């Protein structure tokens, strides 16, 4: 399994995604955009993971020279068309929506911290999310949320945001929430967001640095791993089916 990470900023690190990939001895590659690295070609990967960032899909190249929303959206669309598995986190989830002509919108509330999400009836029927139960506490760090296509299914929502996990196709998922957070990633985010956290300290879904550090992120990481295992199984089944179909057609 070849996994490629698009990383917009050093403090928006892969966290538990990378732990899972290394645990399974998967091949990992990276586009560290803040260092000027280029985007990948779809044929070089099996799973594309687009991470978060302080940008939005509306951020221009003039505002952030290393971020090209249109180029990322084209890559995502190409990967989806090629049958690759795609996961977007926060900004990444919004870019998936943009790639599918579903524009992002602002979330009803800013969420920063660890708060519960609720699994929808449709989400409970989805076998990839059986480990999630009725809901669980997960990480958040956002102001916006991804758009919905006509075919999209909302898997989970929170009190502050109605679109926390979205299934766009059985191989394409948007996570507005951050189930990849680890203690190390939280420290990076706190260091990069000191003024932001102070300015929003009176908001109901914004936790202080002390509480952010006290949160335990292990359980949500394990449940993320369960989802990832099932997603990669589904991807491999699709790849095997496509190869089998091509062999039959060539006979």
CATH number assigned to the domain comprising residue 220: 3.40.50.880
pLDDT by residue for the chain (251 residues), tens only, comes to 999 999 999 999 999 999 999 999 999 999 999 999 999 999 999 999 999 999 999 999 999 999 999 999 999 999 999 999 999 999 999 999 999 999 999 999 999 999 999 999 999 999 999 999 999 999 999 999 999 999 999 999 999 999 999 999 999 999 999 999 999 999 999 999 999 999 999 999 999 999 999 999 999 999 999 999 999 999 999 999 988 877 767 65
Q: What is the pLDDT of residues 213-250, one digit of tens each?
A: 999 999 999 999 999 999 999 999 999 998 887 776 76
* Paired sense of beta strands 47-50 and 85-89, if any: parallel
Total domain count, the chain: 1
The reported pTM is 0.97
Which residues, at least 6 apart from 118, have a Cβ–Cβ distance to it below 8 Å?
134, 135, 156, 157, 158
Average pLDDT, the chain: 97
Find the domain containing 65 and state its range.
2-250
H-assigned helices in the chain: 16-23, 69-81, 91-99, 121-125, 183-192, 194-199, 209-214, 218-250
114 forms bridges with which residues in the sheet? Answer: 139
**C-beta atoms surrounding 142 within 10 Å:** 26
């Amino acid at each position: 399994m070849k996994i490629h990470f698009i990383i917009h900023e050093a403090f928006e690190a892969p966290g538990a995604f990378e732990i899972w990939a290394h645990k399974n001895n998967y091949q990992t590659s990276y586009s560290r955009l803040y260092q000027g690295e280029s985007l990948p070609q779809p044929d070089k990967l099996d799973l594309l993971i687009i991470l978060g960032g302080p940008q939005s899909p509306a951020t221009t190249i003039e505002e952030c020279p290393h971020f090209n929303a249109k180029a990322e959206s084209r890559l995502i669309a190409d990967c989806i068309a090629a049958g690759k598995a795609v996961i977007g986190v926060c900004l990444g989830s919004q870019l998936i929506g943009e790639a599918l002509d579903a524009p992002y919108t602002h979330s009803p509330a800013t969420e920063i911290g660890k708060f519960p999400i609720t699994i929808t009836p449709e989400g409970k029927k989805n076998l990839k999310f059986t480990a999630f139960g009725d809901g669980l506490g997960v990480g958040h760090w956002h102001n916006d949320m991804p758009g919905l296509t006509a075919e999209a299914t909302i898997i989970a929502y929170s009190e502050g945001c109605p679109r926390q996990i979205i299934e766009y196709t059985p191989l394409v998922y948007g996570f507005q929430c951050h189930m990849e957070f680890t203690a190390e990633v939280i420290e990076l985010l706190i260091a990069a967001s000191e003024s932001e956290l102070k300015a929003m300290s009176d908001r109901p879904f914004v936790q202080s640095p002390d509480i952010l550090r006290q949160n335990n992120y292990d359980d949500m990481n394990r449940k993320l791993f369960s989802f990832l295992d099932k997603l990669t199984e589904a991807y491999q089944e699709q790849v095997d089916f496509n190869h089998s179909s091509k062999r039959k057609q060539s006979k």
